[in-house]
């Protein structure tokens, strides 16, 4: 691990310490690492240097909207290659929240998320996307080796 030192004026240092205490960090180093990871992720996405991703799409919708629940489920089935899992909860008599875990090419994930949140009756859609690298190949899992090893994909976050 590499170490470096930074200097902050007193007001900025106090504000930073207040922020890290509010977020529950045990030290400044962990907070700085998270800030850097977040900034690097933003830059990768701006540069479109994020060809693959894992993401969480959360949205609230009115379950009384005509056939909306069926349309949303149908969209997830149609994009089963991107949809890893979903969770559904009832908020009140009218509203539901869903959280869908997605994985795949970033452009496809964004396009799917945009289409889903644009459906009439969907409100408060939010996509949290993390870029990464994909390895494909055969290697042992659970004692399975050689030709019996399954072809599958591993996703590794970038930072």
- Chain Cα centroid distance, residue 138: 26
pLDDT for position 36:
85
Number of domains in the chain: 2
- 44 touches 158 (CB < 8 A): yes
Provide the domain limits for residue 15. 10-46
- 96 touches 123 (CB < 8 A): no
Read off the tokens for 151.
Answer: 């072809």
- Judged by average pLDDT, the poorest of 3-12, 33-42, 70-79 is 33-42
Q: How far is CA 146 from CA 139, 149, 151, in A?
A: 8, 6, 11
Residues 61 and 39 in one domain: no
Residues 63 and 110 in one domain: yes
Helix axes 106-117, 68-78, angle to 10 degrees: 170
CATH code at position 86: 3.30.70.1150
**106 within some domain:** yes
Residues 61 and 81 in one domain: yes
pLDDT for position 155:
77
CATH code at position 41: 1.10.1220
Residues 75 and 89 in one domain: yes
């Amino acid at each position: 691990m590499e170490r470096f030192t930074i200097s902050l004026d007193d007001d900025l240092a106090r504000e930073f310490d207040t922020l890290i205490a509010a977020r529950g960090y045990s030290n400044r180093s962990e907070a700085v690492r998270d800030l850097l990871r977040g900034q690097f992720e933003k830059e990768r996405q701006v540069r479109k240097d994020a060809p693959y991703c894992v993401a969480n799409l959360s949205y609230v919708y009115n379950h009384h909207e005509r056939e909306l629940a069926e349309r949303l489920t149908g969209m997830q089935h149609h994009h089963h290659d991107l949809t890893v899992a979903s969770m559904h909860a009832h908020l009140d008599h009218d509203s539901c929240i869903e959280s869908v875990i997605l994985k795949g090419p970033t452009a496809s994930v964004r396009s799917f998320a945009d289409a889903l949140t644009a459906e009439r009756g969907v409100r408060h859609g939010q996509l949290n996307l993390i870029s990464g690298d994909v390895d494909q190949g055969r290697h042992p899992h659970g004692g399975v080796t050689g030709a019996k090893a399954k072809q599958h994909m591993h996703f590794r976050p970038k930072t």
